């Protein structure tokens, strides 16, 4: 049986053979990437088990980093099979057929192989400065992880840059006019990846042949692997432009909204449905003031509303019944309400009662119930005010001369029960996260 000292020496030898070199030398990367020396190991290790476990974990981490570096370089070089395998491991179905009208956003790139006046070149120094100023590392739980990821991505980018064919032109620092130079440079455009034959464009190679194609692959990789968006490349009818179509799943948008504490507008039916009720001159709901002869109708609507949003389908008892009777007597007199408006208010309540009873029978999910409740009130207003144009009943928003009701905003918080309050948020603002 080998002695512990012999095992440590063997692990240290394997470690020195398999360590991935620091992509870009820096003080921070050395802090995280440099292998520990024997002097830095704890001296009191029972049976050297802690030291063996530490070295084994370090070797495993180095193997993962090396595999990740190879994956990034393959994706930057346009190897779609490697990207598809990585997406499948992330449980992302990149083969899902999306209709043309289903894509949300598009990024437009110039076709580098479209006829241009001259081919251009770029040096590694300029390309590295482009990458550093335009791209951040993949997000992690901590800031230092993003910095480490950025170093790996830069290393993969520079390795892929070396694969590009050389050019005799170099990009000027101050303008885009090419000039002759003896410095080594790579092709910026006209690499020959795409070729036009009788009006049809065909792919000539799987590897990028110019800098523009490499940058496009980097953007697609980061959007697909790091952000989780679905991407698709299409060529324009003239062949001058390449379109990158983007689409995000609703679950991705929910996760991102929750992560950044994104403010979303709630459904009015869930947050402030009372503001849709008719009110008097002092903005008091007519159902809360003295209304002779309307108490039974108001109680009936209240019971229907409580049963509509009560998930337990049990009859109202005790305090719930007392709560429904709060409309029975009110000593507050309404101000600025004409007799004709009281007649319109009765018709409004009857229309709302019939609509809520029908809605209760439909048994819709919560977010649809909130929306339908608001629609019932809006239709009741339209029906009554159309029949009595000279004695219209008005809500709080009408009294304040606000054209449309405004719902409250709240930080988005996703819950995993599909029947709970996650459905009270309006869906459309979620897609603003893509902009």
Q: What is the mean pLDDT of the chain?
A: 75
Q: In terms of domains, do 283 and 239 share one?
A: no
Q: In terms of domains, do 349 and 310 share one?
A: yes
| Least confident residue range of 190-194, 250-254, 292-296, 416-420 | 416-420
For 323-335, what is the mean pLDDT?
62
Percent of the chain residues past pLDDT 90, beyond the cut: 18
**Cα–Cα distance for residue pair 420/133, rounded to 1 Å:** 43
Assign 271 a pLDDT band (cuts: 50, 70, 90): confident
Q: In terms of domains, do 97 and 55 share one?
A: no
Q: In terms of domains, do 98 and 204 share one?
A: yes
Residue 74 domain-assigned (yes or no): no
Is the Cβ–Cβ distance between 256 and 233 less than 8 Å?
no
The pair phi, psi for residue 166, each rounded to 5°, is -75, 155
pTM: 0.56
- Whether 246 shows a pLDDT value over 60: the answer reads yes
Q: At what angle do helices 49-76 and 4-18 cross, to 10 degrees?
A: 10
Q: In terms of domains, do 231 and 181 share one?
A: yes
Task: Look at residue 355 in the predicted model and tell me its pLDDT.
Answer: 92
Task: Look at residue 1 in the predicted model and tell me its pLDDT.
Answer: 46
Q: In terms of domains, do 57 and 100 share one?
A: no
Nearest by Cα to 435 from 109, 101, 105, 98: 105
- Whether 218 shows a pLDDT value over 90: the answer reads yes
Residue 335 domain-assigned (yes or no): yes
> In this predicted model, which residue has the larger pLDDT, 423 or 87?
87
**Cα–Cα distance for residue pair 203/210, rounded to 1 Å:** 14
**Cα–Cα distance for residue pair 111/243, rounded to 1 Å:** 9
- Whether 20 shows a pLDDT value over 50: the answer reads no
Q: How many CB atoms lie within 10 A of CB 204?
A: 12
**Cα–Cα distance for residue pair 210/161, rounded to 1 Å:** 9
Long-range CB contact pairs, 48-55, < 8 A, 24+ = 48/4, 48/5, 48/7, 48/8, 51/8, 52/4, 52/7, 52/8, 52/11, 55/8, 55/11, 55/12, 55/15
Q: In terms of domains, do 99 and 192 share one?
A: yes
> In this predicted model, which residue has the larger pLDDT, 23 or 229?
229
Residue 432 domain-assigned (yes or no): no
- Whether 16 shows a pLDDT value over 60: the answer reads no
Which of 261-270, 298-307, 370-379 has the largest mean confidence? Answer: 370-379
- Spatial neighbors of 317 by CB under 8 A, at least 6 apart, are none
- Whether 179 shows a pLDDT value over 70: the answer reads no
Which residues form the domain of 214?
A: 83-247
Residue 233 domain-assigned (yes or no): yes
Residue 133 domain-assigned (yes or no): yes
Task: Look at residue 51 in the predicted model and tell me its pLDDT.
Answer: 67
Assign 249 a pLDDT band (cuts: 50, 70, 90): confident
**Cα–Cα distance for residue pair 199/271, rounded to 1 Å:** 57
Q: What is the tens place of the pLDDT at every residue in 162-174?
A: 988 888 665 554 3
Residue 420 domain-assigned (yes or no): no
Looking at the structure of the chain, the number of domains it has is: 3
> In this predicted model, which residue has the larger pLDDT, 255 or 429?
255
Task: Look at residue 354 in the predicted model and tell me its pLDDT.
Answer: 93
Residue 319 domain-assigned (yes or no): yes
Task: Look at residue 327 in the predicted model and tell me its pLDDT.
Answer: 44
> In this predicted model, which residue has the larger pLDDT, 343 or 94?
343
- Whether 84 shows a pLDDT value over 50: the answer reads yes
Residue 62 domain-assigned (yes or no): yes
**Cα–Cα distance for residue pair 270/373, rounded to 1 Å:** 9
Query: Token pair 């991705």 is at which residue?
Result: 252
Q: In terms of domains, do 242 and 324 share one?
A: no
State how far Cα 432 lies from the chain centre.
9
């Amino acid at each position: 049986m080998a002695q512990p000292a012999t095992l440590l020496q063997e692990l240290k030898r394997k470690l020195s053979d398999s360590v991935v070199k620091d992509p870009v030398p820096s003080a921070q990367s050395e802090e995280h990437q440099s292998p520990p020396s024997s002097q830095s190991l704890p001296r009191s290790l029972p049976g050297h088990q802690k030291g063996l476990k530490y070295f084994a974990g370090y070797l495993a981490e180095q193997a993962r980093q090396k595999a990740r570096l190879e994956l990034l370089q393959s994706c930057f070089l346009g190897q779609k099979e490697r990207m598809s395998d990585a997406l499948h491991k992330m449980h992302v179905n990149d083969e899902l057929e999306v209709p043309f009208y289903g894509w949300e956003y598009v990024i437009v790139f110039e076709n580098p192989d479209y006829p241009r006046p001259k081919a251009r070149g770029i040096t590694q120094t300029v390309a590295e400065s482009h990458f550093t100023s335009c791209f951040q590392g993949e997000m992690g739980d901590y800031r230092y992880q993003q910095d480490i990821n950025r170093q790996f991505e830069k290393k993969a980018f520079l390795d892929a840059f070396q694969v590009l064919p050389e050019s005799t032109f170099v990009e000027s620092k101050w303008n885009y006019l090419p000039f002759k130079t003896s410095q080594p440079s790579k092709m910026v455009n006209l690499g020959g990846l795409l070729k036009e034959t009788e009006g049809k464009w065909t792919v000539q190679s799987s590897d990028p042949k110019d800098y523009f194609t490499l940058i496009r692959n980097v953007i697609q990789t980061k959007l697909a692997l790091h952000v989780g968006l679905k991407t698709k490349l299409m060529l324009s009818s003239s062949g001058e432009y390449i379109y990158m179509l983007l689409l995000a799943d609703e679950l991705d948008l929910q996760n991102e909204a929750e992560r950044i504490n994104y403010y979303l507008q709630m459904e009015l039916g869930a947050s402030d449905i009372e503001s849709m009720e008719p009110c008097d001159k002092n903005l008091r709901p007519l159902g809360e003031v003295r209304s002779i002869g309307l108490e039974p109708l108001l109680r009936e609507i209240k019971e229907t509303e409580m049963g509509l949003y009560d998930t337990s389908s049990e009859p109202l008892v005790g305090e719930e019944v007392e709560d429904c009777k709060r409309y029975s007597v009110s000593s507050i007199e309404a101000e600025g309400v004409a007799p004709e408006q009281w007649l319109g208010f009765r018709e409004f309540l009857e229309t709302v009662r019939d609509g809520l009873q029908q809605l209760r029978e439909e048994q819709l999910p919560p977010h649809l119930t909130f929306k339908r409740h608001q629609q019932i009130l809006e239709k009741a207003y339209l029906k009554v005010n159309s029949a009595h144009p000279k004695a219209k009943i008005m809500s709080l928003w009408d009294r304040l001369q606000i054209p449309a009701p405004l719902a409250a905003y709240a930080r988005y918080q996703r819950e995993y029960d599909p029947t709970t309050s996650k459905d009270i948020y309006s869906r459309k603002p979620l897609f603003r996260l893509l902009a």
